Chains A and B, each alone.
Chain A
Amino acid sequence: MVMIVGLEEENKEIESNMRELARGLLKEKKVDVIIGYKKGTLPMMSQPIIIDKEEDVDKLLWNNTCYVNLAKYLVPRVAKFVDPEKGNLKVGVVAKGCVGRALIHLASENRINLDEITIIGIPCNGVINRQRIEMEIGEKEILEVTASGNNIVVKGKNFEKEFPFDEYMNELCKQCKIRSPPLVSKFPDLHVGACEEYASIVDEFDDIAEFEAKSPEEKWAYIQDALSVCTRCYACREACPMCYCNLCFVDQNKPIWFGKTTDMPDIIVYHLIRAMHMAGRCVACGACSLVCPMGIDLNFINRKLEKIVKQRFDFTSGLDPDTLPPMTDFKMEDAEEFMLEED
């Protein structure tokens, strides 16, 4: 059982453990490079960093701002992960639960080879919902963000405000049941640090029940409102570890399927089809929402996808590299209650 301690102490402990693990891995040459996070230049920001030397280990950082899903850098592999002579290098990935899930799921789609990866598991306690805090602070500049107990303390010129972390966590983190990377027993070399075995995940999906109960018109109005500020920059797509297509459907131009403008129908179609492609693949990292420059919260769509997949196909993504993802698989007895039938 984890003792209830303040956020900061907890993060510090994880951070020092992580550094030790990383140091050990590099020293014993178990990995060639490690990808992790380093301190960002802005409050509530962290930057991905790739290190290959022992002395750089102390640059690694862990706190509640590490929201980028590092699995993104493995598909396709960034240049630093490939040696011109040796070929693919062995990569250590600082992985919270969702990064671990992403890696395992990508392995199930044959995108990465788990033999070439070491998961440095980290028991994550959620990441800050940066945009929500920024919006609530409003038009004041945030200069410093610290943790005190279980509160996030935001400081700026002439103001200081505390936010309870439980409330101002990313929406998906609030529902997260897989905080440490899932254990894949077939690959004993895969894990260092905190990894856990997960039996079936139990999830009630209460959080979206309210939305689901709305009428079509209310839903449509809500979606329109939520997506109205979308600028189609595709940051959500680019940050998503599962979006690795060479040519995304919105970019296809032979033929052009969907409009590229910021007219409402075009925006909705983009998000709808992207959601379609995420079914059974989303690993609930929330990166799509956290990178959105306009602060659109796409998490409720991801939750719905999780729910559909869980209830229909009893599947949770990223737990086992050997299970076929549901959308590439089928069963004769799949439910078909939605089919039109004679009365």
Chain B
Amino acid sequence: MDEKLLKKSDISKLFNEVKDEYNFYAPKKVRGNISFELISDAKEIELDYLNSKVPPKDVLFPQKETIFEYHYEGKDVIIDERKDLEDKLLIFGVRPCDAYSFKLLEDFFAFGEFQDDVFLKKRENATIIGIGCNEPRQSCFCTSVGGHPYQKESTDVFLSDLGDYYLVETITEKGKDLVKKLSWLTDAKKGDVEKSKALAKQAEESFTTKFNFDLVTKVLDENFENPVWEEIAESCIGCSSCTFLCPTCTCFDVIDENDEYNHRGRRIRIWDTCQSCLYTLETSGHNPRPEKIQRCRNRIMHKFSYYPSNYDRLGCVGCGRCIVACPVNNELRLIIDKILEIEQKEEGEKANA
């Protein structure tokens, strides 16, 4: 049988076996928040978690990332390319929604004439160990965006939490290579596979948040100018918690960091957000999106209207982070409801007429 079993107590064994070959990232508790961090000791790995606060996207697309470094030799500039892009990465314990976000990011960065080499190389060298969700949260809605709490897309190895041990499924060649190295894994029994399937079904049924996003996209496409946006933007305070914690947000800013004393520097990119007024401010002083309403609209439109029209899929993985993070509770579910109300109103008017 292909499926294996991994005891939870054997995680440290797994870690010790692969740590030399891979940079091992796993959920870790940092000041009360779970985040994906480079692990140096197996004890740091947190196994019991709902989902990380900051999405694992920041392993492959960190908040601050060097694009290239440079140094001066007299008047000449020498550009030094990054060499660490070839390092092998292993990301342990990625939830299916976040794993799916890697697929989205990969497609986005590879889209079009120009490929984002910095991200894609790292993605290529990353092995992802996904883990199924047994208990989706109230704010989760991955099933509405084409996901599933046990979706295996873009994971290499997939784990199902069966209590004291994990069921290990290999999905890709990369995953096979990894599992091959762990020769001590025991074979799974048929019952374990059944159990995993039952858990998947149970998880799927427990979702409370469901949307019809086909309809949302349709309504959004037709309602760029609608008074409802004013209502949606009303209580927004323009902080960027939603975009900074979003696993699919990719916008960034490019900055040069100089170390003049040592005649060197680096060009870096850092996360940027469409919620900031500076984001679109031009040097001339003109700003195409000067108000909160345009910025709020841009975020929603980007995920649910522009993304489908450009890449033929939603720009959302349903992790629900923006729902939990919004400090004024102006959350996605309410926004979607308001958008769908437009449609209902229109239909009501049609019926009346």
Contacts and interface: CB of A to CB of B under 8 A. Distances in A.
B135 A78 contact: no
Given A261-B270, A262-B64, A291-B327, A41 B50 contact: no
Given A47-B330, A50-B234, A291-B239, A141 B135 contact: yes
A36 to B, nearest CB: 11
Contact of B138 (A143, A237, A294): A143
B234 A40 contact: no
Q: Secondary structure at chain A's binding surface: helix, strand, loop or mixed?
A: loop
Contacts of A48: 235, 328
B331 A239 contact: no
B165 to A, nearest CB: 19
A57 to B, nearest CB: 18
Interface string A277-309: 000000000000011011100000000000000
The range of chain A's interface size is 35 or more
Given A41-B333, A259-B257, A293-B325, A231 B63 contact: yes
Contacts of B334: 41, 47
A140 to B, nearest CB: 7
Given A141-B135, A261-B64, A263-B64, A231 B32 contact: no
Contact of B33 (A141, A253, A294): A294
B329 A225 contact: no
A2 interface: no
Most chain B beta carbons < 10 A, residue from A157, A226, A229: A229
B143 interface: no
Contacts, number: 121
Contacts of B255: 259-261
A46 interface: yes
Interface string A231-268: 11111011100000000000101000001111100000
A157 B327 contact: no
Interface string A47-70: 111100000000000000000100
Interface in A68-84: 68, 72-73, 78-80
B194 interface: no
A225 B32 CA distance: 12
Contacts of B83: none
B34 interface: yes
Interface in B171-211: none
B108 to A, nearest CB: 21
A228 interface: yes
B268 interface: yes
B253 A260 contact: yes
Given A233-B273, A295-B33, A79 B239 contact: no
B215 interface: no
A58 to B, nearest CB: 19
Interface in B270-313: 270-271, 273, 276-278, 293
Contact of A225 (B31, B323, B324): B31
Interface string B11-51: 00000000000000000001111110000000000101110
A163 B32 CA distance: 18
Interface of B: 30-35, 46, 48-50, 53-54, 63-64, 135, 137-139, 230, 234-235, 237-241, 243-245, 253, 255, 257, 268, 270-271, 273, 276-278, 293, 323-325, 327-331, 333-334
7 contacts: A233-B241, A235-B327, A261-B64, A261-B270, A294-B31, A295-B31, A295-B33
